[in-house]
Structure 1
Amino acid sequence: MSMVLSDRVYTVEDYMKLDDGKRYELIGGELIVVPSPRPKHQRISGKIFNQIENFLKGTQLGEVYDAPIDVVLGEYIVQPDILFISQDRLDIIGELNIQGAPDLVIEILSPATAAYDKKKKSQLYFKHGVKEYWLVDPDQQLAEVFVAGEKEWRWVGVFDQEDVLTTDLLPGLEISLAEVFKGLKRE
């Protein structure tokens, strides 16, 4: 379970002063201590990140980043597991953090953060202009994909090891979920 520091309302300025070696996110004025990811989480994240990074080599489509990296969305700061920013929006990449919504955000669910990823962060990403949102569940070995609609996320579907993920944001990218989940035990 994540620990939430809600003894007062925290600001972006408060967050930027933190230097205790812990990972935090700032959501709704609350500091949320983000625990270190589990090995299964890191393995899946690494496989997805590597597939996107390898695909992007030699292209001018944009840049991909993995956690930990701060993304500032107004008065909120989050650390998505993986994010992609298109070439025409690279100006949101600052020296210390990302200043604005990435085009694609991928969160790998963990028991400590799943509720935030599915609700609060999902709402935050949509509100601030993320174009596509993937939720990857290591235990169920599923990926759920959402694209931004006019007033809310539009559910694209749930995908498993038999499927290949694609996105209009990266034409030609194919992420084999069989490869992503290969060697993992289903819980």
Structure 2
Amino acid sequence: MGAVEYCEHYTRKDYEQWEGDWELIYGDAYAMAPSPVFNHQFVSGKILRVLDEALDKCPDCHAVMEMDWDVSEETVVRPDSMVICYEPDERLTKRPEIIFEVISPGTARRDEILKFDLYRSEGVPFYLLVYPDQRKAKLYRLENHEYRKVGDFSDELHRFELGKCAIDFDFSKIWRQ
């Protein structure tokens, strides 16, 4: 008897029953890495702080950190930091305007390939891959349904034009000195 190819397929209902930290992408389960190392947490916290301060004058947009985004019945992800420009219920169900993923060795390929494609297909206007050890963030902007690289940022200021506001983001403020 030959081997039968078998692949589990999960939904949000399954996801809601799981213990521990998981992401669900296109029906596939992905265990999240153990608690991030200090440098990852430090940079994530700084990103949230810079975003939050930049949004002080924009009552319609909010900075959120490590919150589940229910993309569909088969996809629930938890980006490191996001900007949303709507008032959410208990869970995020609409696409964010900006997503930051702080890259760890264990999640790099998922963030650079799988989530890159997911966020592009869901129409997220700005996606940033942040590399703490290199003190570099790669910024992508959605244009004609494709991500185009805007550039690599370390100490620069970048203005994000959102529908309801603009954010001046100072990359020099997110790194350990």
* CA deviation map 1:96-122 (0-9, x unaligned): x21121111111111111111111111
Aligned residue type for 1:140 = Q
Q: 1:177 aligns with which of 168, 171, 175?
A: 171
CA shift, 1:58, in A, is 4.4
Find the counterpart in structure 2 of residue 3 from structure 1: none
CA shift, 1:77, in A, is 0.6
List alignment gaps of at least 5 residues for structure 1: 1-5
Distance 2:145 2:175 in 1: 33
1:100, 1:128 within 8 Å by CA — same for their partners in 2? no
Q: 1:168 aligns with which of 138, 158, 161?
A: 161
2:160, 2:169 within 8 Å by CA — same for their partners in 1? no
Find the counterpart in structure 2 of residue 71 from structure 1: 69
Find the counterpart in structure 1 of residue 123 from structure 2: 129
Structure 1 stretches of 4+ moved >4 Å: none
Q: 1:23 aligns with which of 10, 21, 24?
A: 21
Distance 2:141 2:116 in 1: 11
Query: Tell me, what secondary structure is at the counterpart of 1:119?
Result: helix
- Tell me the TM-score normalized by structure 1: 0.83
2:50, 2:173 within 8 Å by CA — same for their partners in 1? no
Query: Tell me, what secondary structure is at the counterpart of 1:174?
Result: strand
User: Which runs of structure 2 are paired with 1:1-187 in the superposition (5 Å)?
Assistant: 8-18=8-18, 20=19, 22-35=20-33, 36-67=35-66, 69-74=67-72, 75-86=74-85, 89-90=86-87, 93-95=88-90, 97-161=91-155, 163-169=156-162, 170-171=165-166, 173-183=167-177
% identical equivalent positions:
29
CA shift, 1:65, in A, is 0.3
Distance 2:77 2:130 in 1: 17
Larger Rg, first or second structure (1 or 2): 2
Aligned residue type for 1:164 = L
Distance 2:48 2:154 in 1: 18
Distance 1:65 1:48 in 2: 10
* CA deviation map 1:120-140 (0-9, x unaligned): 111111111211111111111
